[in-house]
Amino acid sequence: MAALHARPAAGGGGLQPVAARRASSSSSSSASFRYSCCWQLQGNIVNWKSKCANKKLQSTVPGAKLDDSEFESVDAPLEPQTWEGSFLCGLLKNLPHIFLVAAAKQLHELSNQREDTLNRWEHSIGSEEDCLHRRIAEMKEQECQTAIEDIMYMLIVYKFFKIEVPMVPNLSKLISNKRLQLWPPRETDLESIHGPEVLELIREHLTSIIRWVHRNGPKINRSTLRIKRLQFGRIYSASIMYGYFLKSVSIRHRLELTLTRSQEIPPPIQFLNAQLTSTPKQEQEETVGGSGEISSSSKPSSVVDPYDLKGYMMGFDPKTLQLCAKLRSPEASNLIEKHSWALSGENMKLPQENDEAVILDPSSLKRLLLEAIAFGSFLWDVEDYVDEIYNLQDS
C-alpha cells in the first residue's frame, strides 16, 4: 500500500480532508439508506462474524448440490478473506433479495471507519501521538482495502448469479486425466450482457485466441486444444482486461455520440479513421504550393464509419488507448490477479518447466474466455458503484 500523506488541499484521489469528503457524500448517503428492512440485518452481523471467523469456505463445483449445513462460497474460485465478504457470501446463498442493501451498508460502514481514523490522525498532527495515529490510519486503510476487495468480488459474483451462470471453480476440481471439459457452455447467457457492436469485437478476440492456441500448441486434432496452466492463466487475465477495456470504450463512445448528436455538430476528430490523414509527401506538396486536392487513386478504398464502435477505437491515439485500458483502482488490479490465480490453481506457482498441460476442446476454452470478458465488464461496473460510496484511491 502506498504511504499515507496528510490530507491534500484539494479534493483529489487518496486521502482527502474530512470536510470535503463529507460534503460530497452526505447527499447520496442520506438518500440511499431509507430501507427500513435493511436495519434488521444489523443485529445479525455480529453473529455472522463469529460464525465466519472460524469456518473454512469451500468452492462449489457447477452443477453440484449445495449443502445447507455448510457455509460455502457461491460458485466462485476465490474465497473471501474477511468477514464482510463471508457475510455477503452467506446472504447470496440464503437471502439474495437483500444482498445489495447489505453490501451498500457495509461500504458505508467501512467508509465511516476510515473517516474516523483519518479524523483522529488529523487532530493528532503535531502532537506526541502523531506517529501512533498515522500508523493506525495506515493499518485501517490496509484492512479496509482487503474488505473492499472482498465486497467488490462478491458484487461481481452477484452479477453472475443474476444472469444464472455459475462461475467456473478451481480448474483442479474439473480436470480428469489432464482433460478439461465444461458443460453446458452457457455461451448465449454470457454473450447476452453485451451489445451487438461489443459482441462482434469479442468474437474476433475469441477466434484469434483459439487460433493462436491451436497454432502454438501440440497438434492433436482440429477439435482438441492443449495449453499449459500458466499460459492459460495469462490468457484469462488478458481477457479480463479486454472486457474491462471494452466496457470503458463503449461507455465513452456512447457518451461522445450523445454529446455530438445533441449539439448537432460533426463527429469529433478522434472518430475519424487514420486512413483520412495525408501522407508526408502530400503535405510537402501542399506546403510548397502544390494542389491541395487528393487524386482519386490516393483516396482510401474504404472508410470506417466514425459512429461505429470499431471505427471509434481505430481512431484512438496511444494516449487515449492507454487511458481506456488503465485500471482505475488498485483493488481492481488485485482482484484480477487473485481471481486468475484462484481459478488456475497451485500450478501457477510452479516453475514453467514443471507446468502441466491441459487438454480441452474449443468450446470449453471459449466458455472460460467469455467468463473472463464478462468478469472484466462486471468489474468496471462494480468499481464505478463502489467508488461512489467509498471513494477508491486511484491506481
pLDDT confidence band for 49 (50 / 70 / 90) = very low
Place of cell 474466455: 369
Averaged pLDDT of the chain: 76
pLDDT tier, 221 (very low <50, low <70, confident <90, very high otherwise): confident
Per-residue pLDDT for 266 more than 50? yes
- The residue type at 81: Q
Q: Got the DSSP string for 272-338?
A: S-GGGSPPHHHHHHHHTT---PPPGGGS-S----TTSHHHHHHT--HHHHHHHHS-SSHHHHHHHHH
Q: Give 74's pLDDT tier (boundaries 50, 70, 90).
A: low
List the one residue out of 192, 200, 175, 180 whose CA is nearest residue 313.
200
- What is the mean predicted confidence (pLDDT) over 66-91? 74
Give the DSSP letter of residue 271. G
**Count of CB atoms situated within 10 Å of the CB of 190:** 21
Q: Give me the phi and psi of 60, to 5 degrees please.
A: -110, 140
Q: Could you tell me which of 55, 117, 116 has the C-alpha nearest to residue 85?
A: 55
Q: Judge whether residue 124 has pLDDT over 50.
A: yes
Conformation bin of residue 15: beta by default, left when phi > 0, alpha when psi is -120 to 50: beta
Look at 76 and 56; give whichever has higher pLDDT.
76
Q: Model confidence over 283-302: pLDDT tens digits?
A: 444 444 444 443 333 434 44
With a threshold of 0.75, does the pTM exceed it?
Answer: no
Backbone angles phi, psi at 61, to 5 degrees: -75, 135
pLDDT recorded at residue 216: 81
What's the pLDDT score for residue 350? 55
Q: State the Cα–Cα distance between residues 113 and 82, nearest whole angstrom.
A: 16
Nearest-angstrom CA–CA distance, 229 and 345: 8
- Report pLDDT digits (tens) over 152-206: 999 999 999 999 999 999 988 888 888 988 888 889 999 999 999 999 999 999 9
